[in-house]
Structure 1
Amino acid sequence: MPEAANAPRLLVVDLAATSRNWSLPEEGRRRIAAATPRGWRVHFVSAPTVSDGDGGRPPSDEALRVVAGAEAYFGFGLSQPVFEAGRVLRWVHSAAAGVGAALFPEMVASDVLLTNSAGIYGEPIAEYVLGGVLHFLRGFDFAVEQQQGAKWDKAPFVSDDSPVREVGDCDVLVVGAGGLGSAIARALSALGARCVGVRRRPELGVPEGFERVVGPDALDAELPRAQVIVLATPSTSETRELLDRERIARLRSDAIVVNVGRGSLLDEESLADALEEGRIRGAVLDVFREEPLAATSRLWRIRRALLTPHVSGVSPLRYWGRQLDLFIDNWARYSEGRPLRNLVDKRAGY
């Protein structure tokens, strides 16, 4: 509780992002103000903040000043300076899905609750995955290359060894069968794909969109069967370089690798080798080990790679509605002492 027992409980909202699409709109401020539980007050930080990442960027002086008396903080992740300044913090809600930068040792050891926004990005990211997979299944990479050279050539599309397929021809392996993975599986299975999920605890059941789920110990057996491999799991000590050189070598020659999880999930150099040597069909990459991706990276110059700058979750018209639905519900839950949605297991890392 705040230091003064009779003072209103303080929520600090630090969402004035420099990117307009990620900055809390005026309507969002009104929604938060209207939903304020009895006994609370809200401070909206006016100083600009950075929406990229999950707390690794320096905070504004204003945020550091006002968080000193805050019980709850709503921002793009949690930086260590904000945590240290927030002497009475009890709950942090992150507008980001990832939480890696927020899990510094002091935060993990504390009793501060952390909730994230996993799930609200599911629909746009699922559409992104579908679009990226179709790029290679329907041969759009050939079309782009031909257009650049003003070349009319049906051969890549109609030859005996043409890689053109329908989504319904594919076996899909989705690594990560939570809210995001399930959204991806629903989108692909709606077009006939057969989706298998990999989850840490398969005993929790088979989410919608999947035919079956398996544990991490079955990954090596499943990889050679899949035409599409989607990485949609958080970055933890157990998942870093999950798709390493050895596992990339196990992939089918028509395999399409999609990474919408974290850049650390795969070995980028080994993937680049496989793409350049034509050992897999293609890769759709929205996240990278280091961002921005260096201009010297080989991946920029590989035709079989489709790259985007960590934007798969962008949805300017629907993001804030989903985000505030989640936050306002959680704020009411927190105020009433009820279980929170999207509560992060700080020691597990997600």
Structure 2
Amino acid sequence: MKLLYPNSLNNTDAEILVTWVNPAARLREEARRLPKLRWIQSLAAGPNDVLEAGFDVSRILITTGSGLHDHTVAEHTLGLLLNAARCLFEMRDYQLRGQWPSHLGGAQPDRPEGKLTTLQDARVLIWGFGNIAKMLTPWLNALGAKVKGIARSPGVRNGTPVYGEEALVELLPNTDALVMILPGSEATKHALNKERLDLLRKHAWVINVGRGSSVDEQALVHALDNDEIGGAALDVFETEPLQENSPLWKTKNTIVNPHAAGGRPQTPTTLVAYNLTRFLTGQELKNVI
């Protein structure tokens, strides 16, 4: 049994490939160069890069790094929510101009209606309620937020009410912050479209740390520039890096991050060792797609 790590340039007869942040061209080359592959272990949370590379998925087992990024993405999401609520992004802009934004400091109203100024009592809706949401929710609860979820399968998860997508019509108009953690697929493409953006209140923020394809960026730009929503904190985009001519660089109340929420898989060797042991003994692997 031969195991190939991404930096290995030989071993064309390798049967196992472990991949992490490899360029698309490199993965396409491996798909052509490694005809004996039986299993690919990706350390990414989603399988998109592997699936799009041309590997023969009819005979190759593919497992993802789901779970390796839960803490980092949840932590980053919390940071984006606090950034939005406390206007830290706006204060930074004034700092760079050498100006004192007196309207952002001093005496302020406590939890004014129709504005997101704190996570205390904020109504946070998490769309894509999986492992990252389960990590994030207790932190939000500790800060006083009221959390609900949207997922394919409704129910109660760790004490949080989770609804099906049909409930969006009722939930979006009563949301202060919409957190999107959807995977990238045809089923989720432009899931947040103009019709659903129109349901949000004028002060509501959109936070996207899932996949850029889940948001209709043109509709989002229109909503931001026309004050139809409060703002957007975006870590992912339809095209990455974000193109220089993208209007999202300069839309109102927009925080742009360079896909920075994850990128630090936690204890990946534990997952690889666990799956390798099970692969060699013919048992079912973890995170099979």
The answer to whether 1:191 aligns with 2:143 is yes
1:336 corresponds to: 281
Check conservation: 1:245, 1:271, Cα contact below 8 A.
yes
Which of 278, 298, 311 is equivalent to 2:260?
311
Letter paired with 2:59: D
Which of 210, 214, 217 is equivalent to 2:163?
214
Letter paired with 1:197: G
Structural mapping, 1:1-350, within 5 Å? 9-14=1-6, 16=7, 45=8, 62=9, 65-66=10-11, 68-76=12-20, 79-104=27-52, 107=55, 109-156=57-104, 158=108, 163=115, 165-202=117-154, 205-208=155-158, 211-315=160-264, 319=265, 322-344=267-289
Distance 1:147 1:313 in 2: 28
- Tell me by how many angstroms 1:336 deviates: 1.5
TM-score (ref. length: structure 1): 0.74
Check conservation: 1:173, 1:197, Cα contact below 8 A.
yes
- Structure showing greater radius of gyration is 1
Structure 1 pair 70–153 and aligned structure 2 pair: CA distance change class (3 A): closer
Distance 2:39 2:113 in 1: 56
- Tell me by how many angstroms 1:97 deviates: 1.5
Query: Once the two structures are superposed, what CA deviation does each residue of 1:190-246 show, in whole Å capped at 9, x if it has no partner?
Result: 3222221211122xx5333x5211112222322111111111111111110000111
Distance 1:106 1:273 in 2: 36
Distance 1:253 1:173 in 2: 15
Letter paired with 1:69: D
Structure 1 pair 307–106 and aligned structure 2 pair: CA distance change class (3 A): closer
Structure 1 pair 262–96 and aligned structure 2 pair: CA distance change class (3 A): same
Check conservation: 2:190, 2:215, Cα contact below 8 A.
yes
Distance 1:161 1:146 in 2: 25
Check conservation: 2:44, 2:66, Cα contact below 8 A.
yes
**5+ long unaligned stretches in structure 1:** 1-8, 17-44, 46-61, 345-350
Q: Could you tell me the percent identity over the aligned residues?
A: 31
Structure 1 pair 161–221 and aligned structure 2 pair: CA distance change class (3 A): closer
Structure 1 runs of 4+ aligned residues shifted over 6 Å read 159-162
For 2:90, what is the secondary structure of its paired residue? Answer: helix
Check conservation: 2:114, 2:203, Cα contact below 8 A.
no
Query: Once the two structures are superposed, what CA deviation does each residue of 1:225-284 show, in whole Å capped at 9, x if it has no partner?
Result: 111111111111111000011111111112111111111000112111211222211111
Distance 2:62 2:189 in 1: 22
Query: Once the two structures are superposed, what CA deviation does each residue of 1:318-349 show, in whole Å capped at 9, x if it has no partner?
Result: x3x511111111111111222211111xxxxx
For 2:157, what is the secondary structure of its paired residue? Answer: coil
Distance 2:131 2:213 in 1: 20
TM-score (ref. length: structure 2): 0.89
For 1:206, what is the secondary structure of its paired residue? Answer: strand
Distance 1:108 1:211 in 2: 39
RMSD over aligned Cα, in angstroms? Answer: 2.2
- Tell me by how many angstroms 1:162 deviates: 8.5
Letter paired with 2:157: P
Distance 2:132 2:100 in 1: 39
